[in-house]
Amino acid sequence: MPFKRPAPLPSQSESQSSSSANLLSGSSKRPRLSPPPGKALPNVKLFIVQAKLNTSAISELFGLAEQHAKRLCNKPEDADVIVTAIGMRRRLERHIPWELAKHKAVVTPQWLRDSVKNGSSLPYDNYIAIQDLQDTIVQNCPECNCKPCACSPSSTSSYASSSLRHSQESLASATSATSPPTAIPAYLLPPSPPLETDITKLDYTSRYACQRASPLVCPNQALVHELDIIRQSRALEGEVRSALSYARAVSALKAYPHKITSMKQVEKLPYIGTKITGLVEEFIDGGHINEAETIRSSVRFQALSLFSSIYGIGPTTAQRLYDLGLRSLDELEVYYGVDSKTQTSIDSGIVEVEKESKRRHAKDEGDEGLGDTWIKIALGLREDLAIKIPRDEVEEMGRVVMRELDQLEHGCVSTIVGGYRRGKPESSDVDMVFTHPDASKIKGLCKRVVQRLHEGGMVSHVMHLSGFHAHNPLRTTHWDSLEKSLTVFILPPSSTFYRGTRRRLDLIFSPPELYWTAVVGWSGSIMFQRDLRQWAKDKHGMKFDSSGITRRYDSKVFFPKTEKEVFDLFELEWIDPTLRNADA
């Protein structure tokens, strides 16, 4: 596209999932077996650090790994051998925790090439990538010259470890491409040395969440939880404005970097007015907030929360149901007439939702025709959808989707956004933003992938589908060309992560010029997002919505070429996604 990167900087990123590794790993249901004979490294689990490699080297190495190694890992902790072109410790540490690296064989790309040529694993000695590691590695596996040295620990503990380290980068971006073989333009890949957030330039007293660093967990988390209860209650009761105020107070507190022990500290914080100041004070001396406790234990609050946890039921419907005297899910099911049999049949079948309720018989509906088929289905899904998704599984879902997508259109790029990208150890759903270097390949892709996933038994429900909105007809290339689909997804049984749990999966397809705008837009958190838009409007007279950034007075459209350019455009300091957790 426009700018070309000076150097051959490619991508990196751990969660650099997919790539060809999984592309070959068999199509979901087909019982793939028989690892091709003649592998040079049949027992080696490899991880490739992409940083400092150009795209052709990446595809070469991925190709070799995929063909000759036992496995090409997505996470360094799963691997025995780490291949990297990086030579300095400091730099490597940006991609792999030092503690982890010390327990692995960290070697140069040449090791892989030579080993393959040699037909079997060569000693690491001559290929040590980092000088500081020389001793460790050698002593780490004294005798295994050729054997892949399963002696290094780790590899099993992948799970927990990756969830716990929400330390900036490393888990930052989960961008992946379906390529290697085809080069992907650099501007669609995440920056090679991940950007660092300069906390000192941020200001926790700012009125805008997009100027504050908000970690996943803050020093005043307990207080935040209390206030968030009140916020939820306000929202459920339909007091949206009040709820907004609590949400803002919460996000201001999330960015305050010290434990609050005196009211003096609070004075400088925005959005803490008379009412909330009182609540904070109460919390400081009592360790809790009375109103929050009351709400928590209130039957009404519990019922309303429960009801609105069902997809399609919001505050209003929840209240109505409550007023009807309903209190539990069982009662809801009775109310909506869920034959516990109907439910299971709906559950296992690959049902198509969307515009189902055709049969709106002019028959009886007296009380209200609200509920209906749709809510029934949502009720059946609730149990599964209430279960959080661990990062590992989020990544697996990403790989599976990319694998299918690649078969429809090679060369796509994607980023897993949402809470996952902000570093949450568990997500309630998975959001993915996709694009393709060739804008013309995007249109209709969303629908096609969803259909393919559906046919493959991976998408059971489509809550809604939106396609091309040729708003500005006139020759318009891009613009409102964002497609999205909200689905219910289930991993194929062939996946090692398969647990039969249905998950919410949102897919967003964006033309390449709008990719980074979309990624920013979908990375959240909600308050961060709102304030970003607010800031854009207040300070720059720009409109920032799901389909792009435009200047209000002349409607000029902007196409940031990187995520950081979005921040630059708005004159904001860069904030890593893991510091955009402005919600409770």
| The binder of DNA chosen from 345, 466, 472, 477 (CB under 7 A) | 466
Residue 373 beta carbon to DNA: minimum distance, rounded to whole angstroms: 8
For residue 470, give every residue at least 6 positions away whose Cβ sits within 8 Å of its Cβ, in sequence order, or none. Answer: 476, 480
- Quick one: 279 or 458, whose CB is closer to DNA? 279
**Alpha-carbon span 168 to 152, nearest angstrom:** 26
Q: Which of residues 394-413 bind DNA (CB under 7 A)?
A: none
Which stretch in 10-18, 86-94, 107-115, 243-251 sits in contact with DNA by CB under 7 A? 243-251
For residue 323, give every residue at least 6 positions away whose Cβ sits within 8 Å of its Cβ, in sequence order, or none. Answer: none
- Quick one: 530 or 580, whose CB is closer to DNA? 530
Peptide bond into 18 cis (omega under 30): no
| The binder of DNA chosen from 119, 153, 337, 369 (CB under 7 A) | 369
**Alpha-carbon span 381 to 507, nearest angstrom:** 19
Q: Which of residues 315-354 bind DNA (CB under 7 A)?
A: 315-318, 354
- Quick one: 198 or 356, whose CB is closer to DNA? 356
| The binder of DNA chosen from 69, 85, 276, 490 (CB under 7 A) | 276
| The binder of DNA chosen from 334, 386, 387, 526 (CB under 7 A) | 526
From residue 476 to residue 515, what is the string marking binding to DNA with x (rule CB under 7 A)?
----x-----x-----------------x-x---------
Strands 175-177 and 413-416: antiparallel
Interaction of residue 464 with DNA, rule CB under 7 A: yes
Assigned token pair, 51 = 């940083």
For residue 242, give every residue at least 6 positions away whose Cβ sits within 8 Å of its Cβ, in sequence order, or none. Answer: 234
- Quick one: 124 or 522, whose CB is closer to DNA? 522
Look at residues 404, 500, 411 and name the one whose alpha carbon lies nearest to residue 455. Answer: 404
77: helix, coil or strand? helix
Interaction of residue 62 with DNA, rule CB under 7 A: no
Interaction of residue 271 with DNA, rule CB under 7 A: yes
Look at residues 229, 256, 234, 254 and name the one whose alpha carbon lies nearest to residue 244. Answer: 234
Strands 429-435 and 389-390: unpaired
| The binder of DNA chosen from 124, 187, 246, 515 (CB under 7 A) | 246
Interaction of residue 533 with DNA, rule CB under 7 A: yes
Task: Please state, as a whole number, how many other Cβ atoms lie within 10 Å of the Cβ of residue 285.
Answer: 6
| The binder of DNA chosen from 22, 152, 211, 529 (CB under 7 A) | 529
Interaction of residue 313 with DNA, rule CB under 7 A: yes
Tell me what percent of the chain is helix, strand and coil, each rounded to the nearest 5: 45, 10, 45
- Quick one: 119 or 238, whose CB is closer to DNA? 238
- Quick one: 28 or 581, whose CB is closer to DNA? 581
Interaction of residue 248 with DNA, rule CB under 7 A: yes
Identify the residue whose tokens are 């590794």.
21
Interaction of residue 547 with DNA, rule CB under 7 A: yes
Interaction of residue 314 with DNA, rule CB under 7 A: yes
Going across the sheet that includes 542-545, the strands are: 542-545, 548-551, 557-558
State phi, psi for 118 to the nearest 5 degrees. -75, -20
| The binder of DNA chosen from 120, 154, 242, 302 (CB under 7 A) | 242
Residue 27 beta carbon to DNA: minimum distance, rounded to whole angstroms: 28
| The binder of DNA chosen from 4, 30, 156, 241 (CB under 7 A) | 241
Q: Which of residues 421-440 bind DNA (CB under 7 A)?
A: 429, 431
**Alpha-carbon span 209 to 564, nearest angstrom:** 17
Which amino acid is located at 223 in the chain? L
66: helix, coil or strand? helix
| The binder of DNA chosen from 123, 181, 185, 270 (CB under 7 A) | 270
Residue 543 beta carbon to DNA: minimum distance, rounded to whole angstroms: 5
Q: Please work out, in degrees rounded to the nearest 5, the angle formed at the alpha carbon of residue 563 by the alpha carbons of 558 and 565.
A: 50
Residue 526 beta carbon to DNA: minimum distance, rounded to whole angstroms: 6
Residue 374 beta carbon to DNA: minimum distance, rounded to whole angstroms: 6
Identify the residue whose tokens are 């969440």.
209
**Alpha-carbon span 494 to 396, nearest angstrom:** 12
Interaction of residue 380 with DNA, rule CB under 7 A: no
**Alpha-carbon span 380 to 332, nearest angstrom:** 11
Residues that bind DNA (CB under 7 A): 207, 241-242, 244-246, 248-249, 270-277, 308, 310-318, 354-355, 357, 369, 374, 429, 431, 464, 466-467, 469, 480, 486, 504, 506, 522, 526, 529-530, 533-534, 537, 543-547
